[in-house]
Amino acid sequence: MKKLIIIAAILITGFVTSIKSETKTLNNPDFEFGFFYSNLAPYGSWIEIDAGMVVWRPTIIRRGWSPYRHGQWIWTVDGWYWDSYEPFGHIVFHYGRWYYDDYYGWIWVPDYDWAPAWVEWRYDDDYIGWAPLPPYAVFSINIGIHYTYDYYVPYNHWHFVNYGHFCDPYVYNYYVAPKYKYRVYNRTKYHNNYDYRDGRIVNRGVDFDHIRKRSGQDIKQREIVRVNDYKEVEKYRGKNDDVVRTFVASREELTKTRSNDIKIEKKNIKSSLDVSKVRLGREDLKDIKVEKNEKERSAGRDLEIKKNTDSRNDVIKKERNNSDVKGKNEVEIKRNETIKKEQKKNNDFIPEKKVERNDVQKKQIERNDVQKTEINIQKNTEVNRRTQVKKNNNVFIPEKKIERKDVQKTEVKRNTEVNRKIEVKKEDNKKNNTVFEQQKRENKTQIKTEQKRNDNTVRNKTQIETKNNSDNNKNKKSR
């Protein structure tokens, strides 16, 4: 037992030493995520995972925490807006994507495009649910949300609630319990509805009218006021219900912020996030002009592809025509060769036929004679066979009659035996009935005799008792 404990301790120490964490300090004022770093550093740590990707992990959270859990859903001009109650929510729930890593837990991948909420939806007639979009989800003006990798958020990372509590300010108190999430997940259907309007990303999610009908509530639409200073958002929180103040900054404003002495952790552990499929920060939202240029480029590419395909088709047609011509020529050549060979054979066999005509005639005459003799023999054999069949038929006629008589006799015997057996059974049944009646009679007589005996015994007992009583009375009197 001691040896096992020692071996386990050695393995654990080896595993711990193999996972080395390094913290490097970057003194780079042009760090790409400077604004995000300075605002999120007090609430978590920045980590470098595979391929040099830098992500943020929250540290001041409770057990069982997950994104988009503590807050409220508000219907606005830009769709469903998530009003977070957490101090870092103005960044991580309106920029970037969330991912649950097998080792690090929840990590946030930064991006520069703002939205009311980066979530995906599921719903049916009873429940509505949401989950954070993964880093593989990229927004495009023309398409909306599209995925660079076939990934599905697990059901235990979803939040489901009844429609009546969807817009509740304390919605986190009404979430479906974890043990029931799997059932609700399977019965609901997936939905996404992202759009681009007036330079803004819109998250319409599940239809507003559907939610209003199912909840039975009068949900009001609010306007969004964009503010560059987050302190102003906190200052007016809850004071005006008709307006939602939110922090929105452009990419230029976010990159202008500089920060020195940036600390980033790095561990020798491979993340479960496939960094090669993440396109955030690379395929970020650009101006419509840029997309028009991309469309023109793609159209030019399509034209080039069409030209290339047309030229290839022409070449293929020419090659096919040439191959067809070659094939036809080869077939004609082969036919001519076969015709020549047949002509040569005919020319070679002409003199032989002239010489052998007489012999052929003789052979034919002999064959005819042989055939005649064979035919005569067959006729004779058939006649003999027919006569024998007739004789056999004549001989067997009386035998058939005899056989019929024998069959009749056997049938009569069988019938007589059957009748005899039936009569025997009847007699046995009669005997059994008589015996049974005798037994009944005997039983009755026995019962009567026993009853008489019992009556006599009872009488005797009564007489004896009366005598004893009279004797006792006499003795008493004499005394």
Q: Mean of the pLDDT values across residues 379-401?
A: 57
Is residue 339 scored above 50 in pLDDT? yes
How high is the pLDDT of residue 272?
A: 92
Query: Bigger pLDDT: 90 or 347?
Result: 90
Query: Bigger pLDDT: 344 or 112?
Result: 112
How high is the pLDDT of residue 396?
A: 43
The set of residues, in sequence order, having a beta carbon less than 8 Å from that of 301 and lying 6+ positions away, is none
Per-residue pLDDT of 69-89, as tens digits, reads 999 999 999 999 999 999 999
Q: Are 195 and 204 in contact (CB under 8 A)?
A: yes
Is residue 341 scored above 70 in pLDDT? no
How high is the pLDDT of residue 8?
A: 59
Residue with tokens 């959270």: 61
Per-residue pLDDT of 257-313, as tens digits, reads 655 667 888 888 889 999 999 987 544 444 444 444 444 544 554 555 455 445 545
Please state the pTM of the whole predicted model: 0.56
How high is the pLDDT of residue 288?
A: 42
What is the C-alpha to C-alpha distance for residues 423 and 421, in angstroms, rounded to an integer?
5
Q: Mean of the pLDDT values across residues 164-185?
A: 95
How high is the pLDDT of residue 462?
A: 80
Per-residue confidence band for 474, with pLDDT thresholds at 50, 70 and 90: confident
Per-residue pLDDT of 238-250, as tens digits, reads 666 688 889 898 8
Query: Bigger pLDDT: 130 or 235?
Result: 130
How high is the pLDDT of residue 442?
A: 81
Query: Bigger pLDDT: 356 or 233?
Result: 233
- Decide: residue 397, CB within 10 A, 0-12 exposed, 13-18 middle, 19+ buried: exposed
What is the C-alpha to C-alpha distance for residues 391 and 388, in angstroms, rounded to an integer?
5
Per-residue confidence band for 404, with pLDDT thresholds at 50, 70 and 90: low
Per-residue pLDDT of 30-74, as tens digits, reads 456 678 888 899 999 999 998 888 999 998 788 889 999 999 999
